[in-house]
């Protein structure tokens, strides 16, 4: 479903904005508005990766102690 909405948005974008300046400003505004969401997703993922690596390394070291 999101793919269909994305394709419709691209079609509307290409059909409605004929002037190059309008297309460029719309892309810039879209990037600025989505930048917050992208950085939030990235920074939410980083601690989970570090915790996962820490757990994996601690588990591997505990296994080597008992062998």
Q: Are 23 and 13 in contact (CB under 8 A)?
A: yes
Q: Are 28 and 20 in contact (CB under 8 A)?
A: no
Please state the rounded mean pLDDT for residues 43-65.
68
Domain assignments of the chain as residue spans, ordered by start = 2-66
pLDDT for 8 equals 81
Please state the rounded mean pLDDT for residues 38-67.
68
pLDDT for 65 equals 53
Residues 1-12 pLDDT 10s: 567 777 787 787
The yes-or-no verdict on residue 64 having pLDDT over 60 is no
Cα distance from N-terminal residue to C-terminal residue, the chain = 51
**CA 33 – CA 11 distance, rounded (Å):** 20
Residues 33-47 pLDDT 10s: 888 777 777 777 777
């Amino acid at each position: 479903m999101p793919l269909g909405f994305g394709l419709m948005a691209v079609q509307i974008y290409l059909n409605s904005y004929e002037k190059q300046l309008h297309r460029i400003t719309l892309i810039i505004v879209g990037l600025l508005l989505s930048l917050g969401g992208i950085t939030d997703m990235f920074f939410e993922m980083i601690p989970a990766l570090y915790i996962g690596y820490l757990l994996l390394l601690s588990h591997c070291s505990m296994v080597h102690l008992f062998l």
